[in-house]
Amino acid sequence: MKITASREQKTESELPFFKEAKIAGSQLAVLCLFAFVMPFSTPNFPYFNLTPSVIALLLLLRLVQGQFLYKFTLLKTNKLLLPFVFSTGLYVLYLLGLIYSENLEFGLKDVLLKLPLLLFPFIILTINFDYCSNKHIQRILQFFVLGNMIAIIISVIHSWFLFKTDSWIYHFHYMEASWFHHPSYASMYYCFSFAIIIYLFLHSKPMLWEKIIGAVGIVLFFAEIILLDSRAGIIAFVAVLLVYFFYILFFKRKFILHLLASVLFLSSVILITYKLLPPDMNRIQSTISRIQENNARKEENTQRKEVRFLIWDASIKLSVNHLPFGVGTGDIKEELKKQYEKENYIVPYEENYNAHSQYLQLFATLGITGIIFFLSMMFFIFWTGYRKKNILLILFGTIIGINFVVESMLEKQAGVMFFSFFFIFLCFSSQLQLSKQATPHC
* Mean local confidence (pLDDT), 348-360: 94
pLDDT score at 72:
80
pLDDT, tens only, 121-142? 999 998 888 888 888 999 999 9
Which of 418, 417, 424 is CA-nearest to residue 113? 417
pLDDT, tens only, 214-258? 889 988 998 899 888 888 998 999 899 888 888 887 777 666 766
pLDDT score at 113:
96
φ, ψ (nearest 5 deg) of residue 288 = -60, -40
pLDDT score at 280:
56
pLDDT band at 346 (very low <50, low <70, confident <90, very high): very high
pLDDT value at 185 more than 50: yes
pLDDT value at 297 more than 50: no
Which of 226, 215, 143, 231 is CA-nearest to residue 177? 226
The answer to whether 256 and 308 have CB atoms below 8 angstroms apart is no
Domain ranges of the chain: 20-56+75-285+356-438
The answer to whether 170 and 281 have CB atoms below 8 angstroms apart is yes
Distance CA 405, CA 386 (A): 22
pLDDT value at 14 more than 60: no
Lowest mean pLDDT among 124-133, 146-155, 421-430: 124-133
Lowest mean pLDDT among 110-114, 156-160, 274-278, 329-333: 274-278
Distance CA 360, CA 370 (A): 10
pTM over 0.85: yes
Lowest mean pLDDT among 20-24, 76-80, 139-143, 303-307: 303-307
pLDDT band at 347 (very low <50, low <70, confident <90, very high): very high
* Mean local confidence (pLDDT), 74-82: 86
Lowest mean pLDDT among 56-60, 180-184, 268-272, 290-294: 290-294
pLDDT value at 59 more than 80: yes
Rank 175-179, 209-213, 225-229, 316-320 by mean pLDDT and report only the highest. 316-320
In sequence order, what DSSP letters do the residues of 217-269 get, joined into one string? HHHHHHHHHHHHT-HHHHHHHHHHHHHHHHHHHHH-GGGHHHHHHHHHHHHHH
Q: Is the peptide bond before 324 cis (omega within 30 degrees of 0)?
A: yes
Distance CA 326, CA 369 (A): 9
Lowest mean pLDDT among 151-155, 279-283, 362-366: 279-283
pLDDT value at 348 more than 90: yes
Average pLDDT of the chain is 84
pLDDT value at 11 more than 60: no
pLDDT score at 299:
47
pLDDT value at 327 more than 80: yes
pLDDT value at 380 more than 80: yes
Q: What percent of the chain has pLDDT over 70?
A: 82
Lowest mean pLDDT among 118-122, 128-132, 383-387, 425-429: 128-132
- Name 183's Cβ contacts closer than 8 Å, sequence gap at least 6: 174, 175, 177, 228, 229, 230, 233
How many helices and strands in the chain, by DSSP H and E? 18, 0
* Mean local confidence (pLDDT), 54-64: 89
* CA distances to 105, 307, 334, 335, 344 from 349, in Å: 21, 11, 10, 11, 8
Q: Phi-psi bin for 207: left (phi > 0), alpha (psi -120 to 50), beta?
A: beta
